[in-house]
Every structure is written in structure tokens, then in C-alpha cells.
Copies of this chain bind each other. A is one copy, B any other.
Amino acid sequence: MTSEYRRDVFQAIADPTRRKIIDLISQQPMNLKTIAEYFDISRPAISQQIKILIECGLVEVKRVGRETYCTIQPGELKKIADWAGQYAGLWEDRIDSFEKYVNKLHTKKNKKYGKFK
């Protein structure tokens, strides 16, 4: 784990606590204490979770006096939306049978090379 280490953002959002933190600070920046009030776990636990969110670039932190304000960095969230969104074609017209699936793939191919048909 060097200094340029960047944690996998998909691994980061796997934890429901971290997703809730993201949700909270996406509405407005929040210091750690305020965030912790939304959970039943200790503040060190929250601190550790935030550290993970920082390491993968989902959260940025600014120290103001003794408080640490957390703000969201939406860029990494966009990467996730893009990854899942690349399969949008699959849920447009839903495939519920193996045969249909094969058919659809075939159609796609035809579309792609349609001008050569």
C-alpha cells in the first residue's frame, strides 16, 4: 500500500454503512460527529469507514478547527453508474429466456453491420 494506492471503488460501496455515509454527505457536507449520530456504531468505526471512502476518491475531507468536514466526490460514483449503465441495452427489452437472448444478440449484430447487408 504505497502513497499512490487507490482502493477499489466497487469494494468501497459494498458496505451498507459506507453507502449510507455517501447518501448523507451527498445532501450536504457533514463533520464526522454529525455523521456518527446517524449510526449505532462508534465514532472510530465511522472514522475508519470515511478513511476508506477517501482512499478510493469518493470523499474529500477538510479540517476546520477540530472538525473534519466530509464532502462527496461524485466522479467515482459516475464510474459506477457508467459501469452498470453499459448493460442498459440488456434491460431495455428484457430477456427472460435463453433462446430470446441469443436472438437478441443476433439482432444486435445485424444492426451493427446492417449497411453491409
A contacts, CB < 8 Å to B: 8, 10-11, 13-16, 19, 22, 26-29, 62, 64, 69, 71-72, 74-75, 77-78, 80-81, 83-85, 87-88, 90-91, 94-95, 98, 101-102, 104-105
Contact = CB atoms under 8 A, between A and B. Distances in A.
Given A14-B8, A84-B80, A28 B74 contact: no
A71 B101 contact: yes
How many copies make up the complex? 2
A38 to B, nearest CB: 18
Nearest to A30: B101
A94 B98 CA distance: 43
A81 B77 contact: no
